């Protein structure tokens, strides 16, 4: 294996006006000897129970282009929100196929507040991940369906020693899995993320 060599250009733009702020970042990367792997169906596994053989390889040239946009705004004295959008496009220049393990377009929205001298802090999180159809077949990837998640939490600080937090994850109880959550070769079962869950935390500062 050879070490990868990255040639990258980054661009960052920040703009502020009153209670709003916009952050734009982008990058373009050309990587020589990109380290990846591929499934080798021509090599039998040494153990019958093994799911198959995967061999690490160097891709002579790979390309990554991506961006992230973040918008922050203070809605009132106690309420603010944050919107972000991120995307990465990866290409295997050797085989003209997508690079493996590249997440899809991802949108996130956060609405948060601070009340009663910042003791009460509610927060609402919305996330939407688009379908990922750009997959590397030689890597053993398959497409990932889109999903939308809604989370909520509320934090309360009783005093300087004690605070509590109650969170509800995946409120809509969606059945989903991340593109980077994959099973081993030989199994078509997806690795699903947890459904609706409740988490209560009590923190005591000593």
- CA neighbor of 139 nearest in space, from 205, 66, 62, 199: 62
Please give the pLDDT value at position 180: 85
Q: What is the C-alpha end-to-end distance of the chain, expressed in Å?
A: 50
* Angle (nearest 5°) at CA 71 between 69 and 74: 170
* Domain positions in the chain: 19-24+65-204
Chain segment 135-149, per-residue pLDDT in tens: 988 887 889 999 999
Chain segment 138-182, per-residue pLDDT in tens: 887 889 999 999 999 999 999 999 999 999 999 999 999 999 887
CB neighbours of residue 111 within 10 Å: 16
What percent of the chain lies above the pLDDT cut of 70? Answer: 94
DSSP string, 117-175: TTTEEEEEEEEEE--B----GGGT---B--EEEEEEEEEEE-SSSEEEEEEEESTT---
Question: Token pair of 66, please?
Answer: 């991506």
Fill in the DSSP letter of residue 115.
B
**Alpha carbons 140 and 90: distance in angstroms, whole number:** 16
Burial of 43 (0-12, 13-18, 19+ CB in 10 A): exposed
Q: Do residues 92 and 136 touch, judged by C-beta distance below 8 A?
A: yes
Fill in the DSSP letter of residue 5.
E
Query: Residue 51, SS3?
Result: coil
pLDDT for residue 53 is more than 80: no
Q: Do residues 185 and 145 touch, judged by C-beta distance below 8 A?
A: no
More confident position, 44 or 127: 127
Question: Token pair of 33, please?
Answer: 């000897």
Chain segment 116-141, per-residue pLDDT in tens: 999 999 999 999 999 999 998 888 78
pLDDT for residue 186 is more than 70: no
């Amino acid at each position: 294996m050879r070490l990868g060599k990255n040639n990258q250009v980054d661009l960052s733009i920040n703009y502020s006006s009153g209670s709003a702020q916009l952050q734009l970042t982008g990058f373009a990367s050309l990587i020589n000897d990109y380290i990846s792997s591929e499934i080798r169906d021509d090599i039998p596994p040494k153990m019958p129970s093994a799911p198959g053989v995967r061999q690490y390889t160097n891709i002579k040239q790979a390309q990554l282009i991506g961006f992230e946009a973040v918008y922050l705004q203070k809605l009132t004295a106690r309420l603010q929100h944050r919107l972000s959008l991120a995307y990465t496009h990866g290409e295997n220049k050797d085989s003209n196929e997508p690079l493996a393990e590249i997440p899809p377009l991802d949108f996130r929205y956060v609405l948060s507040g601070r009340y009663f001298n910042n003791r009460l802090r509610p927060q609402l999180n919305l996330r939407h991940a688009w379908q990922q159809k750009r997959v590397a077949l030689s890597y053993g990837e398959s497409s990932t369906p889109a999903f939308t998640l809604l989370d909520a939490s509320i934090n309360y600080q009783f005093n300087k020693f004690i605070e509590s937090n109650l969170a509800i994850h995946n409120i809509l109880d969606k059945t989903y899995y991340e593109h980077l959550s994959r099973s081993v070769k030989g199994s078509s079962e997806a690795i699903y993320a947890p459904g609706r869950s409740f988490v209560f935390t009590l923190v005591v500062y000593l």
